[in-house]
Amino acid sequence: MQKELVVVIDYGGQYNQLVARRVRESNVYCEIYSYKTDLEKIWAMNPKGIILTGGPNSCYAEGAPKAPKELFEKGVPILGLCYGAQMMMHVLGGRVETPEVGEYGKTEIQYDTSSVLFSGLPESSVCWMSHFDRIAEIAPDFRITAHTSNCPAAAVENASKNLYALQFHPEVLHTINGTEMIRRFVIEVCGCKGDWRMDSFVEEQIALIREKVGNGKVLCALSGGVDSSVAAVMLSKAVGNQLTCVFVDHGLLRKNEGDEVEEVFGPNGPYQLNFIRVNAASRYYAKLAGVTEPEKKRKIIGEEFIRVFEEEAKKIGAVDFLVQGTIYPDVVESGLGGESAVIKSHHNVGGLPEHVDFKEIIEPLRNLFKDEVRKAGLELGIPEKLVFRQPFPGPGLGIRIIGEVTAEKVQIVQDADAIFREELEKACARYGEGEGTSVSEKLGLSDRGKESKLSLSDQCAEDPRSHTQEQCAEDLKPCLPDQYFAALTNMRSVGVMGDERTYDYAIALRAVNTIDFMTADAAEIPYDVLKRVMNRIVNEVKGVNRVLYDVSSKPPGTVEME
């Protein structure tokens, strides 16, 4: 039976993946396509509804992306967001203009609660605006259902034709009850049943993989991180001994991580993955010598990654498919998720170089967010300690070392990172046992367990009105920050140690809280924990005399340093 589908048409908005995630929180499957996608292809998917994203353009400008009028005449429910809302009005006979004052950030808004999208919600609330154009005149047969002090048509609708347009962004957590509005659209307007679950996704993927691979041989890129581990186990369940997993130890892993990966996935571990470990640190260091530009480092690491796989493929004979643990945020930041600009390239995104001897690439997690990948891992029976392992980028410490990568610098950041992670985990356990106050109060986090995090996520998806978005965001935080690590800056400064002058590096600590890794806030690590980490690093790690804490959010920063 074909699953229900809502299509998100991307016009280059920065929140396009968040839109898809909010739809999935309503247990409705969702896929993203560029606005350039042929309409016949969209109709062939038989979507229950369509959502038009925001974008950086002015819809009335020459060459700006537009939807054909036929899109709105098919009878399929459509929800336009920000640029999507403006473009809907422009195409259907309304008028969009650039006002003297734009709206950015949290904005007070008034709703007409007779609209199905806002029924039962507070008449006055807060939404997230981010626009320089606005709807000046609504299209014929539409009515205004929300307004702000600077935006008289913050929401409009033609309910008889199932056309809805919101100038604000309901997909971001700053819009109170925004997820509920999207749920109302996909469930009540589009008529979706909301019966899509992760267990069905896993079963479908295994069946699709088995059908695609047939009798072919499969080579899996196994890093030991959450994404590649889930992909590997999924492939193992699908094709069994046809799978060979190659673990490339590029010398850019966390302290002792290479041995830990081999212990879990190697021949003595619980999985039979035809595990091969390649120790390639020296060749990576040689390739990276003298390279300081972040994108060039990423491309070198990615290219060498593929070359190692080519060599291993030749050793084991003909290989038909390459498996990678690519996930949605990787695709978005590489500019391949629709129309978004490239933020940074990912070595496992974008297909294969010309000289690769594989027939095709398989990315079973390509359409999942990180929290969805973890759910899939639990469905596959992977132990929680592996499923909830700290995220780690494919290029490894190569992008946590600012500037040139050397063996000496790798050792420094490995040791500093191990100290930071150890002290944070100790602090979480210590405060959780009742030293002074709770983990929540001391670490600015929730002391709810990981299992609770998933059950609450399901609860919010099944009955969003049981929690506000802000409560969900707070309740779903794990005991520890969602990602935390130490990075080596390229800054050296004067210090004093043992009555002697030093001229050493500064370590930057990074810890963030996030639900989907598309946006993130710095974790509020208490000063006594940071001070303990600093004391240990400057005393135990040779070559470091200064420790900094990065309080940047995403955006404007990214989670990783490069």
DSSP states along 168-182: S-TTSTTSTTHHHHH
Q: Taking CA 322 as the corner, what is the angle to CA 321 and CA 323, rounded to the nearest 5 degrees?
A: 120
CB 261 within 8 A of CB 247: yes
- Which residues participate in catalysis according to the annotation? 82, 169, 171
Tens digit of each residue's pLDDT (9 = 90 or more) over 273-294? 899 999 999 999 999 999 999 9
Collect the ranges in the chain with pLDDT lower than 70: 1-2, 101-102, 328, 332-358, 430-479, 499, 516
What is the torsional sign of CA 212, 350, 277, 261?
negative
Phi first, then psi: what are they for 334, rounded to 5°?
-90, 0
Report the pLDDT value the prediction gives residue 475, as an integer from 0 to 100. Answer: 38
Report the pLDDT value the prediction gives residue 474, as an integer from 0 to 100. Answer: 40
CA 374 to chain centre: 12
Q: How far apart are CA 412 and CA 422, in angstroms?
A: 16
Q: Show the tokens assigned to 90.
A: 């422009």
| Pairing mode, strands 521-522 and 500-513 | antiparallel
Tens digit of each residue's pLDDT (9 = 90 or more) over 451-473? 333 333 333 333 333 333 344 33
Please name which of 434, 407, 378 lies closest in space to residue 488, comparing C-alpha atoms.
407
| Pairing mode, strands 321-323 and 360-362 | parallel
DSSP states along 1-24: -PPPEEEEEESS-TTHHHHHHHHH
Report the pLDDT value the prediction gives residue 440, as an integer from 0 to 100. Answer: 38
To which residue do tokens 């398989």 refer?
Answer: 362
Q: Show the tokens assigned to 307.
A: 């070359």
Instruction: Output the CA torsion 9→10→14→19 (10° steps).
Output: 10
CB 77 within 8 A of CB 49: yes
Q: How far apart are CA 368 and CA 377, in angstroms?
A: 12
Residue 435 DSSP class: S
Q: How far apart are CA 466 and CA 143, in angstroms?
A: 30
Q: Show the tokens assigned to 59.
A: 């819809």
Q: How far apart are CA 297 and CA 288, in angstroms?
A: 7
